[in-house]
Amino acid sequence: MDLDSSRWLTLTGFLHWSIENTIVALQLIIEYPETYPDVIPIISLEEIDDEDGLREGEEDVVLDNLKEVAEESIGMAMTFTIASAAKEALALLIVDRARKEKEEDDRKTREYEEAEAARTRGTPLTKELFDKWRKSFTAEIKAKREKEEDDRVRALNPKEREEWRKRKERPTGRQLFESSTTLATSDEGLYEEGVEEVDMRKYTREQREAERRKEEEDEERRRRGLVGDGDSDNE
């Protein structure tokens, strides 16, 4: 106990409390005025070191608790009561600190797990998303094929390019076949100048399909410039 003046006495004690890995070490300072114990003493806390001290807001919580205990003991000696209350307050403070730290750790773990689940889950495939992808993919393939065909045409000489243009304008066997759903049984023939009428009824379904595939293959070869003018005339 230190004598500070003719009116004040100061009592300094050490508080040390630990739970698991959490430690709090403080100095409890009690200053007694002349009118003590008719008034409560001045109570303060000082940290022994920063590592084991109080965190923001914790000092006010402890001091408010000690002042409340002192108010209840006015008129009586209260040093031991205040010191005991200080130890209890520190114990509760450490328990509350550990609870908050666990809640924070749980929150971070939960956020991490949710983020990982969302990352691995990806976007659910719906009909709308599939249709959108298919439309984009089809357009991409079409543009690629058109570019390849344009590149082939640019490589042709003027005469070959003109021949390609004429062949391009002629309908393919598939286009002719698909233009009429009654082509296989119709009495109407397909006429072309200098070409005999073709009666599709003379052919079986397999023969018609083979003829259609042959026309498509011939047309593709014409486009690629693989069939000469002489071959075209014999068709």
Q: Is residue 205 classed as helix, strand or coil in its secondary structure?
A: helix
Report the pLDDT value the prediction gives residue 212, as an integer from 0 to 100.
76
Give me the CATH topology for the region 2-115. Ubiquitin Conjugating Enzyme (3.10.110)
The torsion of the CA quartet 97, 50, 2, 77, rounded to 10 degrees, works out to 0
- Angle of helix 58-72 relative to helix 79-121, nearest 10 degrees? 150
Within 8 A by CB and 6+ apart from 40, the residues are 67, 70, 71, 73, 74, 78
Q: Read off the tokens for 167.
A: 């062949």
Strands, sheet with 42-47, edge to edge from the N-terminal-most edge strand: 2-3, 9-19, 22-32, 42-47
- Range 143-162 average pLDDT: 81
Report the pLDDT value the prediction gives residue 61, as an integer from 0 to 100.
84
- Bigger pLDDT: 152 or 16? 152
Within 8 A by CB and 6+ apart from 7, the residues are 33, 34
Checking if the pLDDT of 114 tops 70, the result is: yes
Report the pLDDT value the prediction gives residue 59, as an integer from 0 to 100.
83
Q: Read off the tokens for 116.
A: 């990982």
Average pLDDT, rounded, for the chain = 73
Checking if the pLDDT of 143 tops 50, the result is: yes
User: With contact defined as beta carbons under 8 Å apart, do 177 and 183 qualify?
Assistant: yes
Measure CA of the first residue to CA of the last residue in the chain; give whole Å.
123
DSSP assignment, residue 2? E
Nearest-5° angle of CA 96, CA 53, CA 100? 20
Q: What is the pLDDT of residues 29-71, one digit of tens each?
A: 888 888 888 898 888 888 776 666 677 788 888 888 889 989 8
The domain ranges of the chain are 2-115, 153-234
Lowest mean pLDDT of 19-23, 144-148, 150-154, 222-226, name the range.
Answer: 19-23
